[in-house]
């Protein structure tokens, strides 16, 4: 289990060096490949390269009527009643309360690791050059923290959601679904 400080450090230091050319598709699942580079903490001149894939499931629309399924754990007895009243009031004012829900599948069994005996600068340059040469539109190159590498991959996933949200929302509006 990672401490909050380890998670915060991984979030702050993770960098997406090469973004995929594509974003999360609005009406279908999207597969991304990643190469995650991380320096080994206890050995100089060694870089772990993890390769894997993740699949972003197509975004789903959550409408106010499905907000009844949202758990309000830890709130008072009147929380559900107040939430319902807030939803009703906002809808009467013409506010669009639809949310987009994103989901990802990570296939940990398909993550492969390799230790490269070279400096991070050399490995980074080599991987980036190869990735650009191959031109795979689904590939991301990420530099992260070795012991909390999953946090680095999750940060990439959240970045893809952030960058895809406006496009997905526009597509739903254009088709009259929002």
161-171 pLDDT tens trace: 888 988 988 99
pLDDT of residue 31: 87
Does one domain contain both 55 and 87? no
Tally of domains within the chain: 2
163 and 106 within one domain: yes
Distance CA(47)–CA(36), nearest Å, equals 10
Considering the chain, what is the average pLDDT of its residues? 84
Match 């406006």 to its residue by tokens. 166
Query: How many Å apart are CA 14 and CA 131, to the nearest integer?
Result: 19
**DSSP helix/strand/coil, 50:** strand
157 and 109 both lie in a single domain: yes
Are both 53 and 69 inside the same structural domain?
no
Q: What mean pLDDT comes out for the span 127-133? A: 96
Residue-wise pLDDT for 11-24, tens only, equals 899 999 999 998 88
97: tokens are 């309360």
Do residues 164 and 32 make contact, with C-beta atoms less than 8 angstroms apart?
A: no
| Same domain assignment for residues 88 and 109 | no
Q: In terms of C-beta density within 10 A (0-12 exposed, 13-18 middle, 19 or more buried), how is residue 17 classed? A: middle
Last residue of a domain, one of 76, 97, 118: 97
Q: Which residue has the higher pLDDT, 60 or 135?
A: 135
Q: Find the domain containing 70 and state its range.
A: 64-97
6 or 92, which is more confident? Answer: 6
- Give yes or no: residues 81 and 112 share one domain: no
- 52 and 74: one domain? no
Tokens of 93: 């004012």
The pLDDT assigned to 42 comes to 83
pLDDT at residue 73 in the model: 62
Task: Assess whether 92 and 121 both reside in one domain.
Answer: no
């Amino acid at each position: 289990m990672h401490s909050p400080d380890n998670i915060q450090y991984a979030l702050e230091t993770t960098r997406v060096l090469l973004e995929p050319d594509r974003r999360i598709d609005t009406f279908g699942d999207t597969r991304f490949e990643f190469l995650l580079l991380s320096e080994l903490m206890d050995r100089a001149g060694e870089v772990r390269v993890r390769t894997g894939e993740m699949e972003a499931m197509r975004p789903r629309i959550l409408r106010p009527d499905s907000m009844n399924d949202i758990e309000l754990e830890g709130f008072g007895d009147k929380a559900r009643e107040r939430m319902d009243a807030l939803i009703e009031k906002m809808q009467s004012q013409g506010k669009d309360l639809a949310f987009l829900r994103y989901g990802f599948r990570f296939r940990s069994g398909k993550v492969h690791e390799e230790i490269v005996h070279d400096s991070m600068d050399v490995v980074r340059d080599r991987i980036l050059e190869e990735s650009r040469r191959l031109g795979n539109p689904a590939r991301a190159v990420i530099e992260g923290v070795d012991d909390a590498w999953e946090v680095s991959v999750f940060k990439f996933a959240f970045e893809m959601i952030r960058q895809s949200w406006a496009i997905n929302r526009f597509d739903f509006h254009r088709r009259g679904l929002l």
